[in-house]
A and B are shown apart, each in its own frame.
Chain A
Amino acid sequence: MTENLSQLGIKGEAARSPFSGFIGNVLEERRPGYSRLSLKIEARHLDSSGRLHPGVLATMMDSALGAALRDVRRKDEEGIPGGTVAMDMMVLQVVREGEELVAEGRLLRRHGALAFGEAEVKKRGDGTLVACAYFVFAIGRGSPR
């Protein structure tokens, strides 16, 4: 089932994932294995050269995939510690203040305690690819399903 969540805004995202909401991400859509969020780039998101800090891109994609994985966990896995295990990110495009970005996260495969996923960030409007990444998450118990 698809949830349209954009009306919840930054406060809703902060309640879901504090750091994602803290930087200003807005979760727009989520369904099992997929999510989309957006961020308007402001001066506080920049590096010392006046360009978007790569950590913001990593945060957007990690958050998008984390949201996509929420409904992939089984009920008996609630409360089991988990998180990002590995990330490999490429940055293809410079982003500056005032631009709006959209991040999408997708589950590729769930295997045992691990989930494998991909994410990408594009510019809102012309769809220019800004960054992409592959992730490994620890999300549950060990036996393969």
Chain B
Amino acid sequence: MTEKGSAFLDLMGGEVFRDGSQGVKIRLTIEPHHTNPRGVMHGGVVASLLDEAAALAIKELLGLRPQDSGPHLLVEMNVSFLAAARPGDTLEAEASVLRMGRRVAFAEAQVHRGKTLIAKGRFTFVMQHD
């Protein structure tokens, strides 16, 4: 079952889905327009998938739907790019919340191609409550 994510995820061609395990995941098949000058996946694609997955994990914990607006605002992200991906590869991103405080939340996210870890990210969000 797929769900709607952000406009930018939609632009990239990513889809939000649940596979029966806990939480939501993102799937994206790499196409030629996702590449950098060297012909491999652009680092911005990976960073975008990781950030979207982290945001979804926070919303899930708050009982919000993927398409809902959330109180989280990204202030810092750290990404390690561990392996390349090329057109035709299908990637999956998932994330978990490390700690959710009233003012700050921490999350981590991974992108895999099959069993290969492609990238890992750590995120700090400020929480804006009305």
Contacts and interface: CB of A to CB of B under 8 A. Distances in A.
A86 B42 CA distance: 13
A55 B52 contact: yes
B51 A48 contact: no
Contacts of B32: 18
A43 B7 CA distance: 7
Q: Which bucket holds chain A's interface residue count?
A: 35 or more
A84 B49 CA distance: 15
A60 B37 CA distance: 14
Interface string B34-52: 1111101011110111011
Interface residues of B, number: 40
Contacts of B40: 81, 83
Contacts, number: 144
A83 B38 contact: yes
Contacts of B68: 48
A113 to B, nearest CB: 14
Interface string B46-82: 0111011001000000000011111001111111110
Interface string B108-120: 0000000000000
Given A23-B44, A86-B80, 11 more contacts: A17-B37, A18-B33, A48-B6, A53-B7, A55-B45, A62-B42, A63-B42, A83-B40, A85-B80, A86-B79, A87-B47
